[in-house]
Amino acid sequence: GNSVTQMEGPVTLSEEAFLTINCTYTATGYPSLFWYVQYPGEGLQLLLKATKADDKGSNKGFEATYRKETTSFHLEKGSVQVSDSAVYFCALYSNTGNQFYFGTGTSLTVIP
């Protein structure tokens, strides 16, 4: 089956710290992988994506690389800001399931 596992939060970091949020997946076929971000009171917004193995998605200083050998898509940012405080969701799309599968979300709080 298809599923996404991401590290549990909450995560609290000081401003300018390095961020890693782990994400691993199980999928049939060749999934596309995504990271979404949800700010308080809002819907999910796409942060970055990768559609095939070894692709690197990047946006706003965040990066994630599609690793087929380890079935992972870890999110990283070199220096977080207070404005990065949000809930982050790892997701995959599998055309064998015709839907997006989401991880449980990781809450990030960045303190000044």
Q: Which residues bind another protein (CB under 8 A)?
A: 32, 34, 36, 38, 42-46, 49, 51, 87, 89, 93-95, 98-102, 104-105, 107
Residue whose CB is less far from another protein, 42 or 69: 42
Q: Which residues contact 110 (CB under 8 A, 6 or more apart)?
A: 12, 13, 14, 15, 17, 80, 81, 82, 83, 84, 85
φ/ψ of residue 81, rounded to 5: -120, 160
Residue whose CB is less far from another protein, 40 or 112: 40
Q: Least Å distance between CB 40 and another protein?
A: 11
